[in-house]
Structure 1
Amino acid sequence: MAGKRKKQTRIEPSMGKRRARSGDLRASAKDRVAGGNRTAKRKRGKTSGGRRKSRSGSARRGFSGFVRRSFYWCCVIGLWLAIAVGGVVAFYGAKMPSATTWSVPDRPPNVRIVSTDGRTMANRGATGGEALPLSRMSPYIPQAVLAIEDRRFYSHFGVDPIGLARAMVSNVMAGRMVQGGSTLTQQLAKNLFLSPDRTIERKVQEVLLAAWLEHKFTKDQILEMYLNRVYFGSGAYGVEAASRRYFKKPARDVNLAQAALLAGLLKAPSRLSPARNPDGAEARAQIVLEAMREEGFVTDREITTAMTQPPTRAKSYWTGAENYGADLVMDRLEEVIGGKITTDLIVDTTIDFKLQQQAEQAIREAIDGNGRKLKVSQGALVSIDGSGAIRALVGGYDYSVSQFDRATKAKRQPGSAFKPFVYAAALEMGRTPDSVRNDAPIRIGKWTPSNYDDKYRGPVTLSEALSKSLNTVAAQLVMEAGAGSVAKTARRLGIESKLQTNASIALGTSEVTLTELTAAYAPFMNGGYKATPHIIRRVRTADGKVLYENTYDNPPRVLRPDIIAMMNSMLVRAVNEGTGRRAQLGGHQAAGKTGTSQAFRDALFVGYTSNLTTGVWFGNDDGKPTKNVTGGSIPAVAWQSFMEAAHSGRSSARLPGQYDVPSDPSRIAVPVTRPSQLPARRPEGEIASHSEPAGEWQQRVASEPTGSTRGPVPPADVGRHQPNETTSLLDIILGR
């Protein structure tokens, strides 16, 4: 061979233009037949789609599995939670008494105090107001309460799960307690049975009791109980008490704005009380109005009208002078009914509400106009009729500031207002208004009484001496009659306080209350009969049962008709010509007497017409002197202001008895009395021989048959007394 042959490498045939890569001996898909190619495509497609389906199915299986697992565990947790809650409920429920023994506790008894015209003056008791049915409340009140406190009240079963969940979410989001989930039924259960402690036990008991209330009572009954017992602040429990406390009107007359204010107080009654925080109460009321609009209870126009009303600003305490009378009723109520108050009562009083308002106005105007200038801070007034019934009572300038009753409880020196009892005792001894005494300096032991103006007028009649309030003459009469006799006369007429039986009794140095002093003047206006002061006319239960009633229509006689005639003649002159001139009434005969205590500490005027006897006092609680205030100044002016209003529209009538003072001065003997000539002090109780002993005529009057002769004597029954004697120095010495 022409040389060695080179070794040839085998080359495999290829069906395509591209050569297989080195070392790859497999046929590519492109080298296969068409059918095989389609099969391959189908396989690729099947493989790819299957992979996608597998992923989607896994996702679905994973989500549904999560849902199933969540539902399972929720059921497990809920079951255990239910078991736990049931266990807690069972545990605390087992500690409660059996449901068969549950009962709604009685509402504390209320005393409704009404005037002669049936108007409610005040409510007294733990709640401060009577319980009312829904029909006697303003419809705005329950609407406002439901709108802001429990909108689903009529649809839930005592517990509101929706409201509870909403409150929980709000509290969680706020990070603090901003909403409560309790329904009105739960709140009522808490108020009726439970303490305010926030514990799991109390909450469980609250829910159980709420369910019991819903089973036992209707929705309207539950709402009614709630509105009559819930606290509205400032000592007011229930809508009636709150309405009178804040608006001075009954709950039936409350308007939309006032109802919204009351409902707003339930969130925080003490903090939002309009007596303490009127701006806060008003802001809360605006929220209530909006809630009422959302619930469809009121229209936009009604809300606009309500929002234009000025904010309510209440006193920090019950206000109105009628509350002095209400307190007096409560002081005497248990005594007249003979036991404790165990049920709701209605007390019919003797108070005339119109006169009561006029009396309060008279005292306020006097102090507002002259109090600061004359250093007078307090006043009091009491007005009674001929039977002793108290028709008006004002115990101070402002009841909301001071509840102390200065008309019935404060004892003050009456000053010269006590002198009518001295003169009455002297008249019973045989003296007359035209008897003469010498107004001159005198000495009684170590006591030397002088007149308020330090002036002396010489010989004067008793009538003139009383009208000008001469102290020297009054002191002489006490020495003639005896201090003991004067004290007995005063007690017989109505003075109950202890009296010092010494010569100074003539000037009213013994302390008495304004009420007893005024009542002791009443026999002068009613014909000589005892007038026992009283304010309670009748007591009855809420269902009409009468527990007490007294008309005081059979009083004993305490003064003879001739004494009444003479006393009225002198006390009328004291108003017309004497120290009480500012008390004159146009068209009505008025009589009375001024009084001023030492250092001008107390100033009084007590006077009367044929209709009313009224006493007025001004001074200071701490006993500080006024700025020269006498009984003839602002007391007489306030008396005249009140009595003028009280007699408006009344026909005029003369006082009982008539006595004519002689016009001929020669008929009046004029003695000249020196201190050494003053008669010796008569033994206690001894009277002149020519006069009828007090004990005899009192016994005779007591033995008189009852009937028309025992009631207040009209002027025609008293008769006319004509003086027929003169008084000389010998009369004085002999005690005549």
Structure 2
Amino acid sequence: MTGKRGKRPPLVAEKRSKPPAKKRKPARPARRKAARKPRGPIATLLWPFKWALILLWRFLWGGAVAVTLIIVASVIYTSSTLPPIDELVDGRTRGSVTLIDVRGETFAWRGDQFGGMIRARDVSENLHNAVIATEDKRFYWHFGVDFYATAAAMVRNYREGGNPLSGAGGSSITQQTAKLLCFGQAYDQTVWDSEADYEADCRRTTLWRKAKEAVFAFALEVRYTKEEILTLYLNRAYLGAGSRGFEAASQRYFGISAAEVSVPQAAMMAGLLKAPSTWAPTRNLARAQDRAATVIRLMEEQGYLTAAQADHAQANPATLSESARQRAGGYFADWVMDTAPSYFTQDTTEDVIIRSTLDPRIQQAAEEALTSVFENRVREGSKAQAAIVVMSADGAVRAMVGGRDLTVSGAFNRATQALRQTGSAFKPFVYATALDLGLSPFDTVTDQPTCWNVPGSGEWCPQNYTRRHYGEVTLVEALKRSLNVPAVALSERVGRDNVRTVAENFGIVSDLASGPALALGTSESTLLEMTGAYAGILNGGSAVRPYGLMELRLAGESEPLLQATGGIRERVIQEHAARQLTWMMYQVVEDGSGRRAAVDGWEIAGKTGTTQAARDAWFIGFSGDYVAGVWMGYDDNTPLTGVTGSGLPAEIWHETMVRVLDGLQPTPLPMEVPAQAQPAPPVEQPSQPTQPRRQENLNLPEAVADTIINELLRQLQGN
């Protein structure tokens, strides 16, 4: 049986719920390409060189990196070679000479003075602030180079002179210190002719030098602290008048340490940094004070001073110490430096102390006397010069004035360097020879027209200044009147060679004339030589060697290396001859051509001298204690107008010795009065005008007035 089954229904999948359809993001609208902007003309021109410029940029960038690495390496290397600051603070290539007077006080400096190391932390706060305010107000903020100040200075220099590297300003204290250290290069005599050339080369400004300066400045900042750099600067800076460093300058100008200076003093020294020679207070105090006023204003602007403190400092400017203000003995100091061995003076590498014979009281007396006479007795605008030397009987020079300018150093010294004819000031050596050979002051010589034959020149017939002759005259009368013919006759009588020998032995080392004119002082000599020769007469007939150095030693040492080499030497004439000559020269001042040199209460001996055409005028004389010589004339040998040795030179001598002898007990002259001497009749002194008018001289020529007066007296007595 077949049974039929019903048809199965078709398989149908089980209905399931559908998962929610994912939300589609809305389709982004299609982007539209922006239109390319057209290139500019420059970009168009550079477009072909695009890759070249990219390469150039990468090259420059790489080069900058390389240069930076080189600079860093240079800075690190340079800093590693720098020694401790103690070895750098004294950068002098030569030493100094300090000159001390008889009181033990310093009166002059030569060479480069270094006052000893002083650290930045030890100087006066006033000085610290003045230097920072003046030289580098951002010193504590930059790393060796103040780029802002440098750029500003370059712009200013370009506007003023066209060269941005030429001019002042911009250098930081660190950069200035780099220059002071000469970038670590020491002075070498085989490379530079002098220390000045070395320093000038170190200061030379070029682009390469500026780069080297910057590298060295960075190295200083790496090696030292700010205070150590400032210490180097304060000790190495030159501040004028031979002062190296602020300690030396403080001692030089104010006589105190740099740790003690006031605001005005600190401002004055800080102001010297830009131009030490120009603004040195010893050269021009007013100019230095003006510069200091600017520094004080800077200190106030930067907050280092209150308004009240600044006003007080401005109202009380710094002044020099007494020793710096006097500036005495410049000519004397130069002479001592020349007489000492050069390896202890001009060429010394050590610090030397010289104790000298200078007496500041006598030096001041000579300077005041010269100034007084030229201000009151010499016509305004005169170029005439004068020199003075004062010494003791043993040749110790106590004062020296080499010219009218009393403030100079290294100038021409007319007391030691000017060779001038001596005129009648030479005659005492003629009479010294005669007395030493046994003649008496009362022996006679004939004053009459006389001629002498001079080989190669023919006859020579000298005349007296008065153009008159007086017959038989004693030696003392001939010297007192300064008669020429008797002096020549006496020289020929005792032997011209003997006269020359006596003069040379007394210390006149210059060439002496060989003819009969020797007796009239036609030979040339210096004032120092002549004054020293007269000292031999005062001390009893022994020669002296003028000297100014008593002792030389190194700083810090107690034992001297040199001691006085001058003083009394061998005897030249017998003592009784020197004593009689002193009496004869005493008559010159008492009753002869030298009366204007007389000093009330003192016995004075001396001799006038006037050369041909009055080109030179002299007076040299002595008291019982001191010998003084005065010369007057023109540097170019122009004749003086109305000046003779009995006039202005005698007055300068008088003014000098009045001051020198003031307050001293009168010392009698060591003279021997001849037995035949009789009291001379009193001679009326010509009245002097109370208000002389300003001219070179109001006197009659030498011996003219004396001769006229004496002649009139003789005629009156004869009648």
* TM-score, normalisation: structure 2: 0.71
Q: Helix, strand or coil: the match of 2:297?
A: helix
* 1:258 to partner: Cα distance: 4.6
Superposition pairs of residues 233-632 of structure 1, within 5 angstroms: 238-239=245-246, 256-267=263-274, 284-294=291-301, 297-308=304-315, 320=327, 322-334=329-341, 340-372=347-379, 377-399=384-406, 403-445=411-453, 446-544=459-557, 545-550=559-564, 552=566, 555-632=569-646
Task: Identify the match of residue 99 of structure 2 among 106, 113, 120.
Answer: 113
Distance 1:254 1:452 in 2: 63
Q: Helix, strand or coil: the match of 1:387?
A: coil
C-alpha spacing 1:471/1:375, structure 2 compared with 1 (3 Å): farther
Task: Identify the match of residue 145 of structure 1 among 119, 124, 131.
Answer: 131
Distance 2:127 2:644 in 1: 52
From the CA coordinates, give the structure whose radius of gyration is larger.
Answer: 1
Distance 1:276 1:617 in 2: 27
Q: Helix, strand or coil: the match of 2:467?
A: coil
Residue of structure 2 equivalent to 1:190:
179
Letter in 2 for 1:99: T
Letter in 2 for 1:145: V
Residue of structure 2 equivalent to 1:99:
81
Q: Deviations over 1:410-465 (max 9, x none)?
A: 01111000001000011111111111122222222212221112222332211121
Q: Does 1:131 align with 2:120?
A: no
Distance 2:560 2:222 in 1: 37
Cα contact 1:160–1:182 (8 A) shared by 2: no
Q: Deviations over 1:230-253 (max 9, x none)?
A: 2446876544776799x6877769
Cα contact 1:113–1:348 (8 A) shared by 2: yes
Residue of structure 2 equivalent to 1:159:
143
Cα contact 1:345–1:541 (8 A) shared by 2: yes
C-alpha spacing 1:331/1:173, structure 2 compared with 1 (3 Å): closer
Cα contact 1:232–1:262 (8 A) shared by 2: yes
C-alpha spacing 1:628/1:585, structure 2 compared with 1 (3 Å): same
Cα contact 1:433–1:661 (8 A) shared by 2: no
Letter in 2 for 1:112: T
C-alpha spacing 1:345/1:311, structure 2 compared with 1 (3 Å): closer
Distance 2:123 2:666 in 1: 44
* 1:292 to partner: Cα distance: 2.4
Distance 1:277 1:361 in 2: 20
* 1:304 to partner: Cα distance: 1.7
Mean Cα deviation higher: 280-289 or 450-459? 280-289
Letter in 1 for 2:106: T
Q: Helix, strand or coil: the match of 2:354?
A: strand
Letter in 2 for 1:415: G
Cα contact 1:367–1:377 (8 A) shared by 2: no
Cα contact 1:261–1:281 (8 A) shared by 2: yes
* 1:296 to partner: Cα distance: 5.5
Number of residue pairs aligned between Structure 1 and Structure 2: 581
Q: Helix, strand or coil: the match of 1:460?
A: strand
Residue of structure 2 equivalent to 1:643:
657
C-alpha spacing 1:416/1:159, structure 2 compared with 1 (3 Å): same
* 1:558 to partner: Cα distance: 2.3
Distance 1:580 1:595 in 2: 10
* 1:184 to partner: Cα distance: 2.4
Distance 1:663 1:291 in 2: 79
Q: Helix, strand or coil: the match of 1:341?
A: coil
* TM-score, normalisation: structure 1: 0.70
Letter in 2 for 1:406: R
C-alpha spacing 1:412/1:551, structure 2 compared with 1 (3 Å): closer
Residue of structure 2 equivalent to 1:89:
71
* 1:260 to partner: Cα distance: 1.8
Cα contact 1:279–1:311 (8 A) shared by 2: no
C-alpha spacing 1:117/1:168, structure 2 compared with 1 (3 Å): same
Please report the RMSD computed on the Cα atoms of aligned residues, expressed in angstroms.
4.0
* 1:532 to partner: Cα distance: 0.5
C-alpha spacing 1:579/1:277, structure 2 compared with 1 (3 Å): closer
Q: Deviations over 1:2-60 (max 9, x none)?
A: xxxxxxxxxxxxxxxxxxxxxxxxxxxxxxxxxxxxxxxxxxxxx9xxxxxxxxxxxxx
Distance 2:648 2:526 in 1: 19
Distance 1:607 1:117 in 2: 26
Letter in 2 for 1:626: L
* 1:100 to partner: Cα distance: 6.3
Distance 1:227 1:397 in 2: 37
* 1:466 to partner: Cα distance: 0.8
Percent identity of paired positions between Structure 1 and Structure 2: 38
Q: Deviations over 1:244-300 (max 9, x none)?
A: 99x687776965435323323434557767799999866653332133235665443
Distance 2:123 2:477 in 1: 62
Distance 1:638 1:173 in 2: 56
Cα contact 1:376–1:626 (8 A) shared by 2: no
Cα contact 2:152–2:170 (8 A) shared by 1: no
Cα contact 2:80–2:223 (8 A) shared by 1: no
Cα contact 2:117–2:247 (8 A) shared by 1: no
Structure 1 alignment gaps of length 5 or more? 1-46, 48-75, 666-736
Cα contact 2:118–2:247 (8 A) shared by 1: no
Distance 1:495 1:280 in 2: 45
Distance 2:395 2:303 in 1: 56
Q: Deviations over 1:175-214 (max 9, x none)?
A: 8679955442331221122423445654454455446656
C-alpha spacing 1:375/1:602, structure 2 compared with 1 (3 Å): farther
* 1:536 to partner: Cα distance: 1.4
C-alpha spacing 1:612/1:277, structure 2 compared with 1 (3 Å): closer
Mean Cα deviation higher: 437-446 or 290-299? 290-299
